[in-house]
Amino acid sequence: MPAFESKEQFQEVFNKFWERAITFTEIIEKLTKSQVVVRFDVEDPSVNFTINFRDPGPNGEIGTLTFDSDVEPEITVWSKSETSNKFWQGKLNTTVAMARGQVKLDGSVAKALGLLSKIKPLYAVFPQILEEMDLGQMIL
């Protein structure tokens, strides 16, 4: 399964992905109602990023993505980068991955699973970003 080559590559892909994701206003509005902060702790390479739908960003925006944030998350998700790649392409059965230890969740499982239905339309965006960045080998 394809993984990210470096922390810098991971960050570049996710920054571009999130720039596009926040243009989906209807999805972002649903996520904003959740008022949730989710931190993703990724290994191989080691990257931590937080998506914050609770606290306004520097320009008052809700739904910010930051790396190495010190904001206390409500939900923390751990996985390896290849699992993260699979997840954001909508190719991961999260429940099975949790049972197999490929994904570990700390916080409200019910709330985390509730977020999954809201972000499904974003799964189509991730492979588009990979393609645009000449990372087609990572598309599943």
Q: Supply the DSSP string of 11-64, one letter for each residue.
A: HHHHHHHHHHHTT-HHHHHHHHHHT-EEEEEEETTTEEEEEESSS--TTS-SSE
Total structural domains within the chain: 1
Residues of the chain with pLDDT under 70: 1
Q: Has residue 70 been placed in a domain?
A: yes
**pTM above the 0.85 mark?**
yes
Cα→Cα distances 100→59, 90, 103, Å: 40, 18, 8
What CATH number does residue 49 fall under? 3.30.1050.10
Q: Has residue 2 been placed in a domain?
A: no
**Each residue's pLDDT tens digit, 77-114:** 999 999 999 999 999 998 899 999 999 999 988 888 88
